[in-house]
Chain A
């Protein structure tokens, strides 16, 4: 417990501040409901925002911060698979469904640039989750 607390605290008390050192492959979270063939993106970006949306989000932006948390969870999950990251992604995907549903599974599709082209590849796929 103490070691875990220290490992969480120290990066905040002695931060590295290495923001955007490189632009790493970027995750998208997709899910599939049981009985369906298609994969859908969870928490997709809106196509565009109006001026009022930009200003509102400057002060209050819970959905956007959930999206950013899902990015962190995805990066953690491919770095080191943990029950926490998997359970949190499952909870957030399920929480955004318009109506309760049965089993689902999710996958992490990473996007990166190779030369001039964008490439997409699946880095992680969960089993069926209820």
Chain B
């Protein structure tokens, strides 16, 4: 996959993810500006207009941060803005070197999003004992239905799930060593986001994280593989 193909696929995925976010807002607020955001999503599908669309959507995301005095949807808004920034810089970059750097930054941040998240859990005794995930189900605001709180009654299962999540997150950088392990790692990551979307209602995380996967696949092939060669 070439760099320009990577960016094009990312833009297609991003158009879908942001369009769904916009329709969710539109249903609630009837804000006419959101119609313009949907038009920009359509423009993302047309390569000659993609640069303008990316920066237009970037400005929307910035305005949204001001409107909600911070992210509306936590990490998913941050990832949306990060992807838009990297794509925007790609389109502005004067040479291939700077274009590669912009996409590489996105790939590195994607790996860090898993590794750091796993590391800060694994150094916490409550996570290692499975108590933290029990608490998530027992009293946090995240389960999407009261019936899911019963999962807190299965501490051994949740302890195993905690280790599964922490293990996958901290080992994610190693998946970069080989194209096959990366594809396997991304499938596990996608499944992890899918479970978070179903159980905790984090649907925006599922769609927006997938948007960054092509950047990581390109990064592995173009940057890591020549260095490591496995």
Contacts and interface: CB of A to CB of B under 8 A. Distances in A.
B129 interface: no
The interface size bin for chain B is 35 or more
Interface stretch (A45-53, A99-107, A121-129): A45-53
A23 B27 contact: no
A61 interface: yes
Contact of B117 (A17, A66, A76): A17
Nearest to B24: A62
Contact of A68 (B62, B132, B146, B201): B201
B69 interface: yes
A110 B82 CA distance: 32
A17 B112 contact: yes
Interface in B135-154: 135-136, 138-141, 143-147
B197 A68 contact: no
Contact of B25 (A19, A62, A72, A88): A62
Interface string A1-16: 0001100110111011
Interface in A73-89: 76, 82, 84-85, 88
Nearest to A11: B78
B70 interface: yes
Interface string B98-112: 000000000001001
Interface of B: 20, 23-25, 27-28, 62, 65-66, 68-75, 77-79, 81-82, 85, 109, 112-113, 116-117, 120-121, 124, 126, 132, 135-136, 138-141, 143-147, 194, 197-198, 201-204, 206
18 contacts: A12-B78, A15-B79, A23-B132, A26-B140, A28-B141, A45-B146, A46-B146, A47-B145, A47-B146, A47-B147, A49-B147, A57-B144, A58-B198, A62-B25, A67-B141, A68-B141, A113-B135, A118-B139
Given A16-B116, A45-B146, A57-B198, 18 more contacts: A8-B70, A12-B78, A15-B78, A18-B120, A20-B117, A26-B139, A48-B147, A54-B198, A57-B197, A58-B198, A59-B20, A60-B23, A65-B203, A68-B74, A68-B201, A69-B73, A72-B70, A113-B135
